[in-house]
Amino acid sequence: MSQQTIHLPLHDQAWRGALARTVALTGLIAAAFCLTVAALMLAAHVHQQNADPLTNGTLIQLKEQLADDPENEALKQAIRQADLEVRRRHLQRQRFLTRGSYLLLGGLCVALACGKAYWHLTAKPYLPDPQRLPAACRPGLARTLRASVGIAAAIAGGGILAVALLPDYRTTWFAALVAQPDPTAPATAPVAAGSLPPREVYLRNWPMFRGPGGCAVAPEGDYPTDWDGSAGKNILWKTRIPLPGYNSPIVWNDSIFLSGATETQRLVYCVDAATGGIRWQEPLPIRPGSKPPQVLEETGLSPSTLATDGLRVYAMFPDGDVAAFDFSGKRIWMRSLGPLENQYGHATSLLTVGERLIVQLDQGSSKKDTRSAILALDGTTGRTVWSTPRPVPNSWTSPILADTPSGLQIITAANPYVIAYDPADGREIWRAGFLSGDVAPSPAYAAGMVFAGQAHADLAAIRTDGQGDVTDTHIAWKADGELPEISSPLATGDHVFMVTTPGLLTCLDAKSGKMLWEHDLEKDVNASPILVGRNVYLTDTTGVTHIFEAADAYKPVAAPGIGEAVHATAAFSGGRIYIRGKEHLYCIAAR
């Protein structure tokens, strides 16, 4: 539409023209100024992209070097200097851009004012054309307006409908979840709080690695001492477990739980104790495109033994994924606590305290990494109840629960500390520092004393009534010699039994640390010894279980075998022994 204004007489046309030219020139100068400022700002913006402390290439490179050489003070100083320089440039650029913005704003105001004034001074007078009506006066306007409003209404309605029906926007209705608990929803899992089975039921089962509390004492029962896997003697059943795993079986009433994994699949199994049939097997999804965790072949992809609190069974894998299942195999929740930095692969087993799942996450190559922690997760939801940092690097031990005279304590072992935590809030109770290197044997507990040690260090007996650092005050005795690399020690009130990986079995006096006897089994051993009545059961890697008396002298009782390689520790419950071979799970009971 032509833009005209009222024609008005001008007293001094020449003066008006000169003014218009001046205004136009001023406007052009202002516009040129704005362009210059904008160009300079743009150039500064592009040129100093590297002045961001987060993305500066030099800084990143130096930091990467520091990661390889963390103690290099000169490198640290160089990074500080470079960081300071980058920050200085960063602030300079910000100041430059801020001042530029003000200049640009001022220039734009002048340019715009001149533009308006120029248009005002040079505007031609407006005279309406009698033959041409404005658009709003033309016939048929109402029809056009109705049509346009109709189209706008259709667009608005279509937009709302499209948003409502797009699959991506379909919403979970949380009112339904709150009103009717969904078994698949972690927060509303159909598990009644406070319905944990009584303690005697817990002690009757084999709910975690090395039995109740991890103390390696079998529940009462008439356990056989004689079986033969090849001939089937006293073998109640034998079930093939499809996926490999070094984790040990756990038992709750008539269910045995264990897991297996390959690089592409992870399964949690529930085996029927009565028949040996796999009652259910539930997968844990692997993130699409994720790389399998870096583990040693001896660690495998499923090394962590499961744990149960009698309501749910919990599983963990080396990438840090933790999941809970109910006893029907329904997954209740899953959390990713990884990735975990562990040079051989995370192999720590789980522990339950009431309805809390205790996860020991030791990682990093140095205790300065400050990445290690111990967590208590709510068994019903998986949420973190408490989390306590640990001053240790990666380890391969498993926590145990010690019922000490001063209360329940979670005992952990890693380089260099054995640390006790309060299960209620994760508070550290005491610590004793004497371990070193790669620590894999889990601690043992009996009669108010914790026993921990590993090869190339000492085995120490620690009283559990201390507070703070008890290294110098509560270590009753230390013993050196042939100490285990993988297998965990067994403590009774009177003895400490331990075995090295090559099979050297040692018995110490629990009170003094004096060695009572040693015996070479002449077979490699990965499993841990278990106290069964008055005997100790220890399975070597060929599948032979060495049964001997828990006494001051080595008194062998029997050495039955299953005829299959064994790396896991056997489970004991109700007079039955469950041994996981390389491929099969065996149930052994006196017939």
| Residues 169-228 close enough to bind other proteins by CB under 8 A | 169-175, 177-178, 184-188
Q: How far apart are CA 448 and CA 404, in angstroms?
A: 6
Cα–Cα distances (Å) from 511 to 208, 449, 450, 451, in that order, read 27, 9, 12, 11
CA 384 to chain centre: 11
Minimum CB separation of residue 471 from other proteins in Å reads: 26
Restricting to residues 292-331, name those near other proteins by CB under 8 A: 321, 323, 331
**With binding defined as CB under 8 A, does residue 336 bind other proteins?**
yes
Nearer to other proteins, 75 or 515 (CB): 75
Minimum CB separation of residue 12 from other proteins in Å reads: 12
Residue of 19, 20, 52, 551 that binds other proteins (CB under 8 A): 52
**With binding defined as CB under 8 A, does residue 120 bind other proteins?**
yes
Applying CB under 8 A, the site for other proteins has a residue count of 104
Q: How far apart are CA 443 and CA 413, in angstroms?
A: 6
Nearer to other proteins, 35 or 296 (CB): 35
Q: How far apart are CA 256 and CA 275, in angstroms?
A: 11
Minimum CB separation of residue 367 from other proteins in Å reads: 15
Nearer to other proteins, 46 or 231 (CB): 46
Minimum CB separation of residue 351 from other proteins in Å reads: 19
Which stretch of DSSP H or E encloses residue 74?
Answer: helix 73-122
**With binding defined as CB under 8 A, does residue 142 bind other proteins?**
yes
Bridge partners (DSSP) listed for residue 584: 240
Bridge partners (DSSP) listed for residue 255: 252, 272
DSSP β-ladder status, 428-433 and 468-469: parallel
Residue of 133, 296, 447, 553 that binds other proteins (CB under 8 A): 133
Nearer to other proteins, 149 or 274 (CB): 149
Minimum CB separation of residue 361 from other proteins in Å reads: 13
Supply the Cα-derived Rg of the chain in whole angstroms.
38
Minimum CB separation of residue 169 from other proteins in Å reads: 4
The answer to whether residues 332 and 325 touch, using CB atoms and an 8 Å cutoff, is: yes
Closest CA to 256 of 205, 216, 222: 205
Q: Which of the stretches 193-201, 334-342, 530-538, 579-587 binds other proteins when contact is defined by CB under 8 A?
A: 334-342
Nearer to other proteins, 377 or 504 (CB): 377
Minimum CB separation of residue 193 from other proteins in Å reads: 11
Q: How far apart are CA 513 and CA 498, in angstroms?
A: 12
Nearer to other proteins, 376 or 531 (CB): 376
Residue of 287, 472, 522, 591 that binds other proteins (CB under 8 A): 287
Nearer to other proteins, 95 or 233 (CB): 95
Nearer to other proteins, 16 or 534 (CB): 16
Restricting to residues 352-411, name those near other proteins by CB under 8 A: 381-386
DSSP β-ladder status, 459-463 and 490-491: unpaired
**With binding defined as CB under 8 A, does residue 264 bind other proteins?**
no
Residue of 126, 244, 291, 365 that binds other proteins (CB under 8 A): 126
CA 208 to chain centre: 20
Q: How far apart are CA 574 and CA 586, in angstroms?
A: 15
DSSP β-ladder status, 535-539 and 530-532: antiparallel
Minimum CB separation of residue 44 from other proteins in Å reads: 9
Residue of 138, 427, 534, 555 that binds other proteins (CB under 8 A): 138
The answer to whether residues 428 and 421 touch, using CB atoms and an 8 Å cutoff, is: yes
Residue of 53, 221, 329, 563 that binds other proteins (CB under 8 A): 53
**With binding defined as CB under 8 A, does residue 8 bind other proteins?**
yes
Minimum CB separation of residue 132 from other proteins in Å reads: 10
Tokens of 365: 């190559």
Site string for other proteins, 11-50 (x = CB under 8 A): ----------------xx--x--xx--x--xx--x-----
What's the CA dihedral at 417, 349, 437, 301 to 10 degrees?
Answer: -160
Q: How far apart are CA 333 and CA 417, in angstroms?
A: 32
The answer to whether residues 394 and 342 touch, using CB atoms and an 8 Å cutoff, is: yes
Question: Which residue is listed with tokens 């559990």?
Answer: 464
Residue of 6, 67, 74, 231 that binds other proteins (CB under 8 A): 6
Minimum CB separation of residue 184 from other proteins in Å reads: 6
Bridge partners (DSSP) listed for residue 259: 268
Restricting to residues 68-107, name those near other proteins by CB under 8 A: 76, 79-80, 83, 87, 90-91, 94, 97-98, 100-102, 104-105, 107
**With binding defined as CB under 8 A, does residue 284 bind other proteins?**
yes
Restricting to residues 515-554, name those near other proteins by CB under 8 A: none
Nearer to other proteins, 111 or 439 (CB): 111
Q: Which of the stretches 143-151, 229-237, 554-562, 582-590 binds other proteins when contact is defined by CB under 8 A?
A: 143-151
Restricting to residues 146-165, name those near other proteins by CB under 8 A: 146-153, 156-157, 160-161, 163-165
Is the backbone of residue 175 left (phi > 0), alpha (psi -120 to 50) or beta?
alpha
Tokens of 532: 């069964």
Nearer to other proteins, 13 or 169 (CB): 169
Closest CA to 558 of 524, 576, 532, 587: 532
- Tell me whether the omega of the peptide bond preceding residue 125 falls within 30 degrees of 0, making it cis: no
- Tell me whether the omega of the peptide bond preceding residue 502 falls within 30 degrees of 0, making it cis: no
The answer to whether residues 277 and 239 touch, using CB atoms and an 8 Å cutoff, is: yes
Minimum CB separation of residue 125 from other proteins in Å reads: 8
Encoded amino acid at 79, one letter:
I
The answer to whether residues 37 and 102 touch, using CB atoms and an 8 Å cutoff, is: no
Q: How far apart are CA 299 and CA 347, in angstroms?
A: 7
Restricting to residues 564-583, name those near other proteins by CB under 8 A: none
Restricting to residues 338-357, name those near other proteins by CB under 8 A: none
Residue of 47, 88, 116, 427 that binds other proteins (CB under 8 A): 116
Minimum CB separation of residue 319 from other proteins in Å reads: 9
